[in-house]
Amino acid sequence: MPEAHRILLVDDDPLVRTGLRLLLSSDPALEVVGEAGDGDEVVEAVQRHAPDVVLMDLRMPRLDGIAATRAVRALPRAPHVISLTTWDVDDAVLRSLEAGAEGFLLKSSSPAEIIGAVKAVVAGDAVLSPRSTRQLLDHYTRGGDGQARQEAKAAMAALTERERDVAVAVGHGLSNAEVAAQLFVSAATVKAHLATIQTKLGVRNRVQVAVHAERAGLLRAAHDH
């Protein structure tokens, strides 16, 4: 049997941590290896427990989840980070994604959504629903300046046509399997394309790929057809 994915829970509310631990431990593919009660404990906990995924509360008293995410993602062999929030898309969520989180979950998400998100991020897949992706991009591009748009256009122009197709599909919030079905390729091929796209764009996750596609005007063009 493959090894279970290792998870670190970070939340200042012990009840939330207990609930998440019980929920995640119900799946044999997941193992909660540690907990932290505030952002300033996270780096040490990551070094001690070597998790694959950190579920990170955004609002904590001493060090918030955004700063803690940035610190964790700067570590060698950094784990994946999923932000936990009580609100839908807001500035804290945006800043956590810029700091390197690979998606966010509402604390009110269903058990299946939470377990699915943890497995998806380990597999290099989407943790954002199409609706969340759309909301995020609307937030990001509301204040988008002309220079950011020009830079995004230039960066996207350096991609191959197939890579652009993948970036646009990711920008619409599709999972790797959905992108694969749309483009008639395997999910492994989509994953390989995504890795190349992230390298070429100089970004760390699919959310930032989506932001580039949006700023370059590629998603609106697709909307209008």
Last residue of a domain, one of 68, 97, 123: 123
Is residue 118 within 8 A of residue 82, CB to CB? The reply is yes
Residues 115 and 140 in one domain: no
The pLDDT tens digits of the residues spanning 11-50 come to: 999 999 999 999 999 999 999 999 999 999 999 999 999 9
Q: Are residues 72 and 171 in the same domain?
A: no
User: Residue 162 sits in which domain range?
Assistant: 136-224
State whether 14 and 108 are in the same domain: yes
User: How buried is residue 92: exposed, middle or buried, by Cβ count under 10 Å (0-12/13-18/19+)?
Assistant: middle
Prediction pTM value = 0.84
129 lies in some domain: no
Residue 131 domain-assigned (yes or no): no
- Looking at the structure, tell me whether residues 60 and 141 fall in a common domain: no
H, E, C per residue of 77-92: CCCEEEEEECCCCCHH
Half-sphere exposure of 196 (CA within 13 A, CB side): 16
Helix runs in 85-217, H state only: 91-98, 111-122, 130-142, 146-157, 161-171, 176-183, 187-201, 206-215
Q: Per residue in 153-188, pLDDT tens?
A: 999 999 999 999 999 999 998 999 999 999 999 999
Last residue of a domain, one of 91, 123, 155: 123
